[in-house]
Every structure is written in C-alpha cells, then in structure tokens.
Structure 1
Amino acid sequence: MSKGGGNMTMKQAIVAGIDFGTQGLKVGLFTVAGKLVWKGERSYPTVYPHAGQAEQNPQHWWKALREVLAEAASVLPLSQIEGIGVCATSSTVLVVDEAGTPQTPALMWMDKRAVAQAQTINEKEEPIVKDILRYSGGKVSEEWMVAKALYLKENGYLLPGRKVVEQLDWINFKLTNRWVASQCNAVCKWNYRDGEGFSPAFFKAIDLPEYREFWPEEVIPVGSQVGVVTEGAAVELGLSAGIPVFQGGIDAHIGMLGVGAVDSGIMSLVMGTSFVHLVHAEEPVFHEGLWGPYENPILPDKWLIEGGQLSCGSLTTWFLQQFYPHVPAEQLYRVYDELLAEAARIAPGSEGLVMMDSWQGNRTPYRNPHATGSLVGLTLAHTRYHIFRAILEATAYGTRNIISTFEETDVPITRIIACGGGTKNALWMQILSDVTGLVIETLEETEAGSKGAAILASYGLGHYLTLADAAKALAEKGHVYTPQPDAHRAYDRYFTTYLDLHKALFPIMKELIVT
C-alpha cells in the first residue's frame, strides 16, 4: 500500500473527496491543485426511535453515493478520477456479518443509549484505566465507539463472525473489500495510542477483552492507502476499478485539512448539525473540560485538542420542521430568507430571550449527557423570529463557553477559521463574531470535509510531500467577520445569564429524563 510523498509532478489529475455527514452526503471533485470541478449532495434520513436515540440505515449511505456519482457522470467522465478520499461522522457504529451486511441500524454519533456503559468505564479505579483515559480528557463519552461496543456486547449483538465498525470503515470496505480502521478515529474515539496501539489490559479492565475479535485488525494513518476500488464497487458506482482509496477520518477532523488549520493555535470551527472546535498543539494539554489530548490523529507530531456542541444546525432544522411543516422542501429557502431578514431586525439578546443549546446533551465543557434544551424569558410579545434568533445566539454562547475553556489552557488561539453549511448564514456568522468578540474567517469552499478528503487523495497520490503542505496550498480564504463593539457588550450580559441557566437547570433536567 502506498503513502504520500512520491511523485511530485503537478499534473491536473481529478480526485474525489467524499464526506458522509449527519444529514447527508457531499461529494466534491477537485483537481490536485485544489480547484473545484464539480460537487453534488444527497440527504438521507435519521430516525429517533426514543428520546436520546438516533439511527440511520447504512444502505441509505451507499444509495446516496451511487446517485451522486451518477449525477457527476452526466457532467464529466468518472474515468478521470485518479484517487478517492473519504471522511464520515464518528462514532456512528453498526454491527455487520462476515460479508459486511449490516445486522443493526447504525447508532449515530449523537445516540446516547450507551450512557450506562460510559459511566461504568469512567468509574473504574484500575490504574491502567485512569492512564488511558487521561488522553481522552479523563473520560470516555457515551457517543464513542468503546462505550457503544460495550453496549452492543451487553445487549447480545456481538455474535460469532460479526464485526462492530464505524461508518467510515464500512464505506471503505464497500469500496475496497478491506476492513481497516483510521488512526484518526481510533485515537480520538477508540482509546488507541499512536505507537502503542490498543491496551489489552485496559480492555480487560472495562470488560471488553474480546475487542480484537470484532474490530478491524489494522489501524492505518490518515492519507495511507486503504486499497483500490473493486470490480463490484466499480460496477455499482460507475467508477473505474483499481482507483486508489486513501484513508480518511472523522469528518470534522479531516475538515481541518480542508481549511488549512494545520499549525498550532489555529481553531477549526466546523458548523454543521453539531459544532466541533479543534486546535492542534505542540505538546499535550490536559483539561477536564476538553477532549484529548489526542496524539497524532491527523498529522505526525501534532497533538489535537477538541471541544464540541451536540445541537446546532439540528436546531434550525427542528425549527423549520415544527413551524413550517406545510412548506414543500424546495420552497424552504424562501422561508429561511424571511427568517434571517426578520431576525436581523431584532436587537442582540432577542429582547430578553435566552436559549440553552444542550438539546441532545452537553459535550463541552460540562460533559453532561442528561442535559436538555430550555427557552427562558418568553413573553406574549415574542414571535417565531425571536425564537429563531435565540437559536442562533444559543449556539454562539456555547461556542464562547468552549473558547473560554480553551483559554484556560496554555494553547493560544491565534485564528478561528469556520467551515460547514452554517457559514452560508451571514447573520449567524456575525452573531458568532459579536458573541465571542473574535474575528472569524470563512473559506471560499464552505464544505471543508469533502475538500479535506480530496486533499488526502492528492497527498496520497504523491503530489505533495506532506499533508500539512497539501492543506496549506489548497485552502482558499473567503469572508472575514469582525465583532461589533456595541453588540459584543450587549451579549456579555446575556452570556452570563446563559451560564447561570446551566447551573440552575441541569439538576432539574436530570429529573425530567424519560426512560
């Protein structure tokens, strides 16, 4: 299997960056010089069987890829594609049989049914457990692969011959017929240590000693070659057999490459269904309110520190679904334009309306799976537009809280580069800048996941010496948002209220949990 760094000829090869996100698939075809040639997308549904649960059908992912590539083929010959990179959500976990056929729905990253298993792991007193968890912020999350794998074991899903894999692993298998895990996912979500691998003592201590039986045997770095597109996959997708497929990772993390956030101190702010805040560091930084430090998950010799919000873009989606169910999907853009125009007329603070954004729990800095949402300050004078603006402000308050947590460490944040679908919303971006009091940059190409996956393929094919070189060369700047002093001062007061609400309402929220 090849790795990047060979042929440095800058020919205009076409590479495909494939990004499986929460709400849908995005595919970008780029030249290896970073020029976008074509892009397309398809949505797929998420099912919420019970409170705190979220599932998808893996076959919907593959169908979406087939449809998008068929659309691309009507524009240019897919035979021009010389390399493929893939990124996906994490930890979106499914059980498969020996042939790779899904035996369960995929438990989405936001699924919280492994809360008890995560708590069990976090309460272990064995020194090996404490040592391993030290590199994941002192705890595992109920979202992660390890807790979900333990849940699946305890509920009888791990039968002989089955595997427990992530969305990325399954897609790579469908393309290449090889089970290979990503070092990015394994380090960040599977308690894997670069250079040391998995600790048998750790997994024995947490009652998962048989992990080797059902996980992919090999863990390879981001940018390494997974395999090549098989004859079967080529026929299904309309591709040429033999195209190299290069290892990706978590969509938000690969997005760091897409925005060029490869130097220490640059925060990559990924604005999608959830928000993810990622910063590279030269040395490990330990803080109980942040995830990590993760050792070399994306770049060699770079530690990664992570923060995140669970409910962001999903809140605006919920708002449209609940307030505008009668509007056809193809007409919703007009509704959205109206919402933005009306919300922009409302003063900072939504006239005394403050929302908590923890509708699916709080990831950073409180790590509270029992947290839910709240909307405080409602009066008969408030309208749907106030509520919509309060949603945008709530996510900005959450981001400010996370940035404040980063500032408690020795990692200086020198720049913030935002990417993802949320950056298309100029009002949201200005609110983020006003609430945080920071300059926020965006990119010309907003979908950093597919761009980052394409960068992986460009590097893997040998057009760049390092991943960092490729990322810096191909990132393109877009708009810059600067905080407005008056708005920032107004938001200081509301941010204090936002923090106070967490202290007051978290205990009540736990009592309200429906089991």
Structure 2
Amino acid sequence: MGSVDGADERYVVGVDYGTLSGRALVVRVRDGAEVGTAVHEYRHGVIEAVLLDGGPALPPDWALQDPEDYRDVLRHAVPAAMADAGVDPSQVIGIGTDFTACTVLPTLADGTPLCEVPELRHRPHAWVKLWKHHAAQSHADRINALAHERHEPWIGRYGGKISAEWQFAKGLQILEEDPEVYRRAERFVEAADWIVWQLCDEETRNVCTAGYKGIRQDGRYPSTDYLSALNPGFADFVAKLDGPLLPLGERAGTLSARAAAWTGLPAGIAVAVGNVDAHVTAAAAQALSPGRLVAIMGTSTCHVLNGTHPAEVPGMCGVVDGGISAGAWGYEAGQSGVGDIFGWFVRNAAPAGVASHERLTELAADQPVGAHGLIALDWWNGNRSPLVNHDLSGLIVGLTLATRPQDVYRALLESTAFGTRMIIEAFVEAGIPVTDLVVAGGLASNRLLMQIYADVTNRPLGIIGSAQGPALGSAIHAAVAAGAYPDVHRASAAMGRVNEGVYQPDPDNARAYDALYAEYRALHDHFGRGGDDVMLRLRAIRNTALDAAAARTDTVLEAIG
C-alpha cells in the first residue's frame, strides 16, 4: 500500500487467523485507515487424510492443523504488512489477533503443543483440532443427552445442543480414544488464546471462546459431578481449561522479546486478549447495536448480534454476557458450509466452459426466482444452526434432464440464504429482534448472492466497508488494549466502517421466495428433525466402509513393513 505520512501517527496491527492462511493488517489508530497488509498461507493447510511426518491415516471427519503454521504467520505476514505500510515500528502501539473457533489444542503447562513433544507427534489427538473437525459428534450427542437428563441449567443457553465442534466434545473424544494424550495434556486451550500466549508469554483466556465454545455460563463451567457422570476420567477437564479470564478489548500482556523478533514490532507494546474471527468483525462493521446481525460469509458463515437480555434460542451456538462487546448479551449462530458448497460445485460438478463462479453467477442471474424448479438443503458440511448435527448431508430436489449447471448453482446460493432465514426466524421467535443485516467476508463481493439474501430475508443488507473485517476488528481491539480508546464501542465508531443499505429487498422477489422457503423448511424439518434419518444412516454406512478400507490398507502396510 506504500508509505504513509505523519511521524506522530500511531498504528496497530490486527492478525486474522483463517482456515487456510493468516492475514496481518496495519491500521491507523485515529481513523481506522488500512495502510498495509500481507497474507501468509499455512504450509500444511488442513490435515484431513494422513498425519504429517509419516503418521497414520486419519478417520473420516477429521480436520487437524500444525501450530507451527500459526507462528509462521507472525514471522512472515506481520513484517510483510509493515513493509507494505512503510510505517516505522516505533509508531505501533498494539497488536490484536482473532482465530477460527472452536479450534483447540492440548498443551503442556508452559503452552508447548503436545504435537511438538517428540514421542507424541505420531498421535493424531496431540494435534490442533480445527473448527471443522466433526469426528466428535457421538461425544456431543452424549453430552447433550446427559445434560437434558440431569436438567443442567446451562444447556438452554446453547439452544439445547452442544456442537461437535466445541471444546467439551473434542476433549471427551481425546479422553476416550487416546487416554495417554488426554493425561499428558496439562492445558486444553483455544488457538485464539494460545497465539496470545505465544505473543506475550502469559496464559490468558477470553470470555468469548470460554462462553461460546467452553460452556462457561454465569461464572462457572459444568460441574465435576456432571463431567464424572459422562466419564469418570473427564472430571478434571475444567482444570485443563482454567486460566485468567479477561473481557474483550483488555490487555492480555505485552509483546515479548521473542515475539518482537518474530514480528519486527517493538517489545513491550500491548497485546489484546484473544478473540474469534466472527465476533471481532462486529466492531469493524460498526454493528454493536442490538438487532443488527452480522453475517461473516466465507467457507462457512457465522452470524452474530447483540441483544439487550438473555434468551434461550433453539439451536443457537450460544448467548454470552459480553461475548461480542461489554454491556450486551452476544448471540452466535452459524452455517457449517457456504462458500465451501459453491466451491464444491465448481470444482466437482460444473462442466467445462462454465466451471467458474463468475460464469455461473452471470448465467444464474438471468433467470426469474423459482424458474429452475429446485430446492437444496445447505448441509454439505452438516448443520450448525439450528439443528446442531454435523452428520447431516446435502440434498437437491427437483432435478430433471432439463436442469442446467447454472440452475443448480443458483439453487445452492439460495439454499444458504434459506438457512440464514431459518436462523433469523429462530431469533425473532425467541424475542430477539433482527432489524437488518451487515455482511462481511469474501462472499460479499457476489452481487447476485447479496441480492438473494436481501430478498429471502426481506431485510436491508449493508456491506462492511473493509475487505479485511476480522483483521480490522482485531486492530480495533488492539487500540483499546493500548489505551487509545476507552472502550470498543468508541473505537468501533472511529475506526470501523460500513456501507449502509446497499441491497434492498425486491417486494416481488421476496414474495416468490416465501413460497420456495416454505418448501425448504418442509424438507429441513423432515430430514433434520426425525421425519427420515436416511442421511444419518448413509453417513454410518460410509464411515463403516471407509474404516474397513483403512484397516485393509494398514494390514498391507504392516505386512510390507
């Protein structure tokens, strides 16, 4: 972006850790101007098939990462962003970070990841479990069933179901599938908190991930009695989670000499408390007022909004006091697959000549609402909200010999909008108003998709005024941690940006989509709420077949070895 003027200006750095890469953003404190940015791709990406360094094949629904890839973002992206900005490091007063969640790892007491302990490196459960690690669904089911059986007071705060993605499901899976790794894990920490630990050499926990991903409500975690009832060996799990718990925008510590050498930033500057990529974006989008729903749309979508009071919303990811910003009850919901679904179709199903998002969007935009005669369920990666079941799968109804690629593509776009409408209606029915939407993330650039969302939800839709919403949000929190603003609300007003009401619902299209949405909801309830469990049976058959094939491969390898 080039050099900037003003030796007396102050800057902060926001670092956004995504699924495949990390981005650093240099931001001017007084007005939020973005003056430098850089991206570093994770060397190992998502580890889904075989563990690194000749490790074993991974079972279905696993998704791991290497924590060294996260350190490399600090070593490469931050210095590159500073060089792009042309800012003198002495002008930087703070750094803030955000992460995908629930992305979690077991460590030693000093924060060393267990996958970096030589004798544990070949054990899959010693590695980072990425947010989309869905192999703990059966453990989540047991957590939920026992919570309802015992009338645990916290289960309603999570819409009645804990996700397979969350900390407790992943922790229970480790205990029951690799007890030795569980025993060696002295800490079980969100990557959002672990990277802050790496930056300032101080262990902290943030209220956001503790509340949404760690079942911490009203000042406490689930009881030891409850955990023992799940599995006697699980009674100490909360002890592995406990650490200094800090509100969002607080200072976690100061940049250590080691991290200063990685980043090229001055030692001693403020390090903000960790945060989640979706939740931190609300500040960047100036969307902290109650009723304004932020949809962070990328490979998946996370929906966050503030409310004035706590309510139990069926199927939501959680409601947390101060979970988005202090003084409000933050609500979270999500869709496990959005951009990933569109990408799947382009890569695997679209024929040559139209196998691009640009061409398919162009062709799909030409047709009237409903002309393709299709309805799809957006469950290619399971359902996060409101069904909280990652064993569910996708569905397209209405295919004929006349169906064209652009018809299917548009139906997939619409399916994700219908999924968002389901979430909005769940909020509204629970007494949490949703007045308008603000979209952030890479999918905001697709004009057809954005208009579909405005029409399907029948609400005005704004677009965040930054292409780097999470990184800007992290920078805003860094400015607060450094003392440049008294709170996140005032920092958001000065440094955030949004383009209001860019898309308005078309009344005719909204009425047409009402009819299609009724069909979507009927299919949603039939296949997702017990009308027919065929998707779950098919998943079980698939997993059995894959496990058998993996066992045969291991037998052959052992014989060769």
- The 5-angstrom pairing of residues 10-409 of structure 1 reads 12-33=9-30, 34-44=32-42, 45-49=45-49, 50-75=59-84, 76=86, 77-97=88-108, 98=110, 100-103=112-115, 104-124=126-146, 130-155=152-177, 156=179, 157-160=181-184, 162-196=186-220, 199-207=223-231, 208-322=234-348, 335-349=356-370, 351-409=372-430
- CA distance in 2 between counterparts of 1:36 and 1:171 reads 23
Partner letter of residue 381 of structure 2?
Q
Question: Equivalent of 2:455, from 434, 442, 448?
Answer: 434
Give the paired residue count: 500
Q: Summarize the Cα distance change of 1:463–1:202 in structure 2 as closer, same or farther, 3 Å threshold.
A: farther
Matched residue type, 2:48: Y
CA–CA separation in structure 1 for the residues paired with 2:512 and 2:41 = 38
**Code of the aligned partner of 1:450:** A
Where does residue 6 of structure 1 map in the other structure? none
In structure 1, the partner of 2:523 is 501
The one-letter code of the counterpart of 1:15 is V
CA distance in 2, matches of 1:194, 1:397: 33
8 Å contact kept, 1:52–1:112: yes
Listed one character per residue, the Cα deviations across residues 71-119 of structure 1 (whole Å, up to 9, x for unaligned) are 2243224443210011101111222334513413321212211112212
CA change 1:74–1:306 in 2 (3 A) is closer
| Separation in structure 2 between the aligned mates of residue 314 and residue 126 of structure 1, nearest angstrom | 33
5 Å-filtered alignment, 1:441-456, equals 441-456=462-477
CA shift at 1:387, angstroms? 2.2
Deviation at 1:505, TM superposition (A): 3.4
Deviation at 1:196, TM superposition (A): 4.4
Does the residue aligned with 2:304 lie in a helix, a strand or coil?
strand
Q: Which stretch shifts more, 374-383 or 447-456?
A: 374-383
Distance 1:449 1:320, change over 3 A: same
- Indicate the larger mover: 315-324 or 137-146: 315-324
Amino acid at match of 1:108: L
Give me the whole-angstrom Cα distance separating, in 2, the residues matched to 1:323 and 1:277: 29
**Aligned-pair CA distance for 1:253:** 0.9
Change in CA separation of 1:501 and 1:125 when aligned onto 2, cut-off 3 Å? closer
Alpha carbons of 1:197 and 1:363: their partners in 2 closer, same or farther (altered >3 Å)? closer
Q: Which amino acid aligns with 1:46?
A: V
3-state SS of 1:308 partner = strand
> Partner of 2:183: helix, strand, or coil?
coil
C-alpha displacement of 1:338: 2.2
CA 1:126–1:341: 2 relative to 1, 3 Å: closer
Q: CA 1:229 to 1:323, structure 2 compared with 1: closer, same or farther past 3 Å?
A: farther
User: For residues 65 and 386 of structure 1, what CA distance do their matches in structure 2 show?
Assistant: 43
Letter in 2 for 1:88: F
**Shift, 1:185, TM fit:** 0.4
Q: Distance in 2 between matches of 1:163 and 1:129?
A: 28
- Is the CA contact (8 Å cut-off) linking 1:349 and 1:393 kept in structure 2? no
Distance 1:378 1:478, change over 3 A: same
Runs of at least 5 residues in structure 2 that lack an aligned partner in the other structure? 1-7, 50-58, 116-125, 544-561
Structure-1 residue corresponding to 2:445: 424
Amino acid corresponding to residue 416 of structure 2 in structure 1: T
Distance, in Å, in 2 between the alignment partners of 1:63 and 1:350 is 49
Write the deviation string for residues 380-432 of structure 1: whole angstroms up to 9, x where unpaired: 32232222222211111111111111120212222221111111111111111
Which segment is superposed worse, 389-398 or 379-388?
Answer: 379-388
| Contact 1:126–1:205 under 8 Å retained in 2 | no
> Relative to 1, partners in 2 of residues 1:412 and 1:445: Cα closer, same or farther, differing over 3 Å?
same
Instruction: Give the C-alpha shift of residue 508 in structure 1.
Output: 1.3
Matched residues, percent identical?
A: 31
Deviation at 1:300, TM superposition (A): 2.8
TM-score, normalised by the number of residues in structure 1 = 0.90
- For 1:199 and 1:125, the matched residues in 2 are separated by 11
For the structure 1 residues 325 and 250, does the alpha-carbon distance in structure 2 shift closer, same or farther, using more than 3 Å as the test?
farther
- Secondary structure class of the residue paired with 1:53: coil
- Counterparts in 2 of 1:31 and 1:201: CA distance versus 1, 3 Å: farther
Using a 3 Å threshold, how does the CA distance of structure 1 residues 326 and 193 change in structure 2: closer, same or farther?
A: same
Question: TM-score when scaled to structure 2?
Answer: 0.83
- CA apart distance, 1:193: 2.7
Q: What one-letter code is carried by the residue in structure 1 that aligns with 2:28?
A: T
Q: 1:206 to 1:505 in 2, by over 3 A?
A: closer
Is the Cα contact below 8 Å between 1:19 and 1:87 reproduced in 2? yes
- How large is the Cα RMSD of the aligned pairs? 2.5
Q: 3-state SS of the aligned residue for 2:389?
A: coil
How many angstroms does 1:130 deviate by? 1.1
Give 3-state SS (helix, strand or coil) of 1:236's partner: helix
User: Which SS does the other structure have where 1:158 is aligned?
Assistant: helix
Conserved 8 A contact 2:113-2:127? no
Once the two structures are superposed, residues 235-260 of structure 1 have per-residue CA deviations (whole angstroms, 9 ceiling, x without a partner) of 22333222221113111111111112
Distance 2:218 2:522 in 1: 40
Q: Name the SS for the 2:15 alignment partner.
A: strand
**Superposed displacement of residue 231, structure 1:** 1.7
Is the contact made by 1:165 and 1:216 (CA closer than 8 Å) also made in structure 2?
no
- Give the stretch that moved more between structures: 291-300 or 79-88: 291-300
Distance 1:192 1:99, change over 3 A: closer
Q: 1:388 to 1:298 in 2, by over 3 A?
A: same
Please give the secondary structure, in 1, of the residue aligned with 2:152.
Answer: helix
**Which amino acid in 1 is paired with 2:61?**
G
CA contact (8 A) 1:52 1:360 kept: no
**Rg larger for:** 2
